[in-house]
Amino acid sequence: MEGDSVTLEPGVAILLINKILWKFGDQGALVALIDAGRISLFDGPDGRFKDRLKLDHTGSLTITSTRTTDTGAYEVNIKGGAGDQVRRFNLTVYSRLPVPAISRDSSQCSSSSSSSSSSNCSLLCSVLNVDHVTLSWYKGNSLLSSISVSDLRSSISLHLEVESQDKNTYSCVLNNPIRNQTKHLDISQFCHPCPEIYCCGFTEPVTRLVIAALVGVAAVAFVVYDIQGCKVGTRNHH
C-alpha cells in the first residue's frame, strides 16, 4: 500500500560476491550499488527515489514511504562467485482506500400511487478518485453486484434497491488485491419517507400562487369600479 515500506531481497548468499546492482524500470536505471563493499544510492528517474532507498550489505533493497509511481520492474544483478545472477521483481503499489460513502438516490424519491413502489428505497454507494479497485454490494455474505476500475483514476458508484422494511444486512465493500474498506448499511438511516419537496412536487405551490394572483386582480378591479362609481355619483349630484 502507498506509504508502506517494501524490501526486495536478492535471495543468494553474498560471501563471494563483489558487486550487486539494482535497476528500475524498462530502461534499467541504476538505483543502488554495492561495489567492493561500498554502498551507493541513486535518486532514479525524475528523482523519484530521493531519500527513500536503503541498501544493506546483504544486498537487500528497501523502499520507504512507497508511492504509486514506484510501481514497475526491479532487477538485481549479482556479479561474482559462481557467475552472474539476475533476479527480477514486479512491484505494484496501490493507493490507500477510502471508506465508501452511502447515500439515498434522491432522484428516485418521488410520489407514487403504488404502495409497493413507495416502499422501495434507492441507494448509492460511491467512492472518489480511485484506481485498480472493485466496488461491491453484499447482502450478508452474498455478492449482489460489483463494478471495477483499472489504471485510470476515476469516481464510481453502485446502485442498490431495497425495501424500506428490509431486515437483511447489507454492506458496500471497496477492495483492491491486498486491502478492503467496508461500509455497513443502516436502512433506517436512509430509507425514511421522502421529504415533502419530493412528494408534492411543484403543482400545489404554483396553484396557490395563481389563486393569490387572481384574488389580487379581483381586489384591484373592485377598488377601481368603486372609485369610478363615486365619480359618476358626484357628476350626477352636480
Which three cell numbers, joined as nine digits, stand for 93?
Answer: 503499489
**Does the structure show a pLDDT above 60 at 209?**
no
Q: Strand, coil or helix: what is 117?
A: helix
pLDDT over threshold 80, residue 224: no
Chain-centroid distance of CA 16 in Å reads: 51
* Predicted local confidence at residue 222, as pLDDT: 41
Residue 217, pLDDT score:
42
Share of the chain above pLDDT 70, in %: 73
pLDDT value at 61 more than 70: yes
Higher pLDDT, 208 or 120: 120
User: Identity (one letter) of the amino acid at 159?
Assistant: H
The answer to whether 93 touches 67, Cβ cutoff 8 Å, is yes
Tell me the three cell numbers of residue 38: 561500498
pTM for this entry: 0.66
Cross-strand pairs, 90: 73
Write out pLDDT tens, residues 26-51: 999 999 999 888 999 999 999 999 99
Q: Average the pLDDT over 157-183 and give the result.
A: 94
Mean pLDDT of 136-156: 92
Task: Give per-residue pLDDT as tens, 4-16.
Answer: 999 999 887 665 5
- For cell 526486495, name the residue: 8
Three-state SS for 85?
Answer: strand
From the list 70, 64, 60, the residue with the least C-alpha distance to 34 is 60
Q: What is the pLDDT of residues 65-118, one digit of tens each?
A: 999 999 999 999 998 766 788 999 999 999 999 999 999 987 765 544 344 455
Question: Measured between alpha carbons, how far is 177 from 7 in angstroms, rounded to an integer?
Answer: 19
Question: Is residue 219 predicted with pLDDT exceeding 70?
Answer: no
In this model, does residue 142 exceed pLDDT 90? yes
| Mean pLDDT, range 228-232, rounded to an integer | 46
73-95 per-residue burial string, b: 16 or more CB within 10 A, e: under 16: ebebbbeeeeeebeeeeeeebbb
Average pLDDT in the 186-204 region?
64
List the grid coordinates of 168: 437483511
Q: How confident is the model at residue 165 (pLDDT cuts 50, 70, 90)?
A: confident
Average predicted confidence (pLDDT) for the chain: 80
Identify the residue with better confidence: 164 or 200: 164
**Percent residues over pLDDT 90 in the chain:** 55
Q: What is the pLDDT of residue 37?
A: 84
